[in-house]
Amino acid sequence: MSTTPLTTWSQDGFVGTISLDNASRHNALSHQLVMEVIEALKVLHEAQTRVVVLRARAGSKIWSAGHDIGELPVDGRDPLGWNDPLRELVRTIETFRAPVIAMIDGGVWGGAVEVVLACDIIIATPESTFAVTPAKLGVPYNVSGMMTFMSAASLRIVKELAFTAAPISATRAEHVGMINHVVASEDLERFTQGMASTIAANAPLSISVMKEQLRVLAGAKPLTPRGFEKVQGLRRVVYDSNDYHEGIRAFKEKRKPQFKGN
């Protein structure tokens, strides 16, 4: 693990800001970067922060390239199991006491889309895009991640994003209700800070309770134990497959993968 920090954070009054800052890897969600964000959230929680803005350093062309593909396991282990740092980050954001606003200017890929969708409010520039990539890499997706997607968009949109793995523009994402606002790049910070200040001036306890109520209610989907075991077990078919290895190999070799469906 590098000792150079891959993120920065700050607090101004009741508003906290966490900035992804690893341009050379397009803010890929490596173990280190993710743990730094989780740590920053813990510190901001202790500091009574009432709203957090999660952003990339100004000028980043890519908000985040998603899970660090170099860190995906190739030994038959579940790539996105319960203890994966990315899963922990999603849970930390979802259960963070105060709202987290994702401020996006650039491409958002793979697991980073889930991180963004786990945030409470999403504000993006028209140039931003969102790509759901497991099918491009041959990776199985986790069950709670699927639920995050289903809470963020209609089933039809989730299917299109998941099956094509193609980026969706911020304008379309706003149109289908996946994100809150599309704001021109030059107005993004002012607009986001304005919303953060509005939230910070409101009653924090009322907001944190509503956030938790909405999280519990949105996740209250009836599912039999057998149904859960089925959707969870299905994932193994993918991470045990040749295509899973091919997807990761192809990315590392900078070529198009040749998927065979086994």
Enumerate binding residues for ligand LCV (CB under 6 A).
25-26, 28, 62, 65-70, 72, 107, 109-111, 133-134, 136-137, 139, 141
Pick 36 or 68: Cβ nearer ligand LCV: 68
The catalytic residues are 67, 111, 141
The DSSP code for 186 is: G
Q: Least distance (Å) from ligand LCV to the CB of residue 191?
A: 25
CB 89 within 8 A of CB 64: no
Pick 110 or 204: Cβ nearer ligand LCV: 110
Q: Least distance (Å) from ligand LCV to the CB of residue 194?
A: 30
Other CB atoms within 10 Å distance of the CB of residue 153: 21
For residue 2, which amino acid is it?
A: S
Read off the tokens for 261: 């469906």
Strand partners, 124: 104, 182
Pick 6 or 69: Cβ nearer ligand LCV: 69
Sequence-distant (6+) residues with CB within 8 A of 138 are: 238, 241, 243, 244, 245, 246, 247, 248, 257, 259
Read off the tokens for 76: 């038959």
Task: Report the alpha-carbon distance of residue 193 to residue 176 in Å, rounded.
Answer: 24
Task: Report the alpha-carbon distance of residue 262 to residue 246 in Å, rounded.
Answer: 10
Q: Least distance (Å) from ligand LCV to the CB of residue 198?
A: 32
Task: Report the alpha-carbon distance of residue 66 to residue 26 in Å, rounded.
Answer: 9
Pick 98 or 248: Cβ nearer ligand LCV: 248
Question: How far is C-alpha 142 from the geometric centre of its chain's CA atoms?
Answer: 13
Q: Least distance (Å) from ligand LCV to the CB of residue 86?
A: 8
Pick 99 or 145: Cβ nearer ligand LCV: 145
The DSSP code for 70 is: G
